[in-house]
Amino acid sequence: MINTLQNKKEISKKLKERAINEGFSISGIASIPGSSRLKLRTKALDRWLSNNHHSEMKWMEAERRKNIGLLLEGAKSVLSVGFTYISSQNNNKNKILKVGKFGQGEDYHKVIYKKLKNIGRWINNEIPDCKWKICVDTSPLLEKAWAEESGLGWIGKNSNLISKRNGSWFTLGFIILTKDLIPDTPHQSLCGKCDKCIEHCPTNAIVEPFVIQSNLCIAYHTIESREKNIPKRIKKNLNGWVAGCDICQDVCPWNKSVPYNNTLENTPKEWINNLNVKSLSWDDETWKKNLKGTTLQRIKPWMWRRNIKANLSNR
């Protein structure tokens, strides 16, 4: 038993180190089904859905999101990782049209998946009898809840996962495993009495701490909404945002001083730095060429024009 426990400790430590060596900024492990906190997070999701705060994002209703065991038969542990996407170059200062930092470089889904696949190969060698499954944020998983359970950080009042060292400028990835590993301690919330994200949201989308009403969120309307026009209440508060919105993260005290990840993957695309009024004249092929290889492909060419026009009408 001691040898078994020692082996678990050793392989758990090596797995997390392997993730860091692969380029992730943080890594942690949680046991499945997790602590009672996961049940609370699931109930919170149910309340959010019942209030229709997810608006048109119907994929959030997937039942599998509430049960990680449905994603991989025999699941016993999950490795959670964070990939820092902020670099010294991807800011929006003095820009007429702004793009969320998460989308300025390479498509983080592909970046994270590739790194996790490398870790998967390592698992095949180190734990040959272990089955595993990769999940990024396109998978029906309570990502932030499991990342919190793994000790990566805590879910802040703006609903983003926040790390003491890396703030909230990172995206998440997971590997579900069929082996029992040594879990990390779930992270405790450190938001305290701070309400800066709530106070600075120009559309009051954070309707209560930890709860985002999507149809009031600038990021939702510029990325997800397929409506022909952006509502007046949102439009008058865009302030240059055409793809996402970083306001609630920019004002977060935990983001004041975080380490950059100045990799090629995070280098802003040249066309993003040069977005301006003339971008309205780009045809669909130009948009598709520019968007290729980025997570911003989710925003269709007609939506980019809609978002740009909505900003220009406020000037």
Predicted pLDDT of residue 137: 82
Which residues have a catalytic role annotated? 137
**What is the mean predicted confidence (pLDDT) over 127-152?**
91
Query: Average of pLDDT values for 254-267?
Result: 94
Q: What is the rounded average pLDDT of the residues 58-75? A: 76
Percent with pLDDT over 70 in the chain = 93
What b-and-e string marks burial along 240-268, b requiring 16 or more CB atoms within 10 Å of the CB? bbbbbbbbbbebbebbeebeebeeebbeb
pLDDT of residue 60: 64
pLDDT of residue 70: 86
**Average pLDDT value for residue range 104-132:** 96
Burial class (CB in 10 A: 0-12, 13-18, 19+), 160: buried
Each residue of 11-46: pLDDT tens digit?
A: 999 999 999 999 999 999 999 998 888 777 778 777
pLDDT in tens, 193-231: 999 999 999 999 999 999 999 999 999 999 999 999 999
Which range among 54-68, 130-144, 281-295 has the greatest average pLDDT?
Answer: 281-295
> Cβ neighbours of residue 81 under 8 Å, at least 6 residues apart?
19, 24, 26, 27, 112, 115, 116, 152, 172, 173, 174
Identify the pLDDT of residue 306.
97
pLDDT at position 65 is 63
What pLDDT score does 294 carry? Answer: 96
Residue 90 pLDDT level (bands cut at 50, 70, 90): confident
Mean pLDDT of all residues in 235-263: 96
Give me the residue spans of the domains in the chain: 2-91+104-177, 196-312
pLDDT, position 67: 79
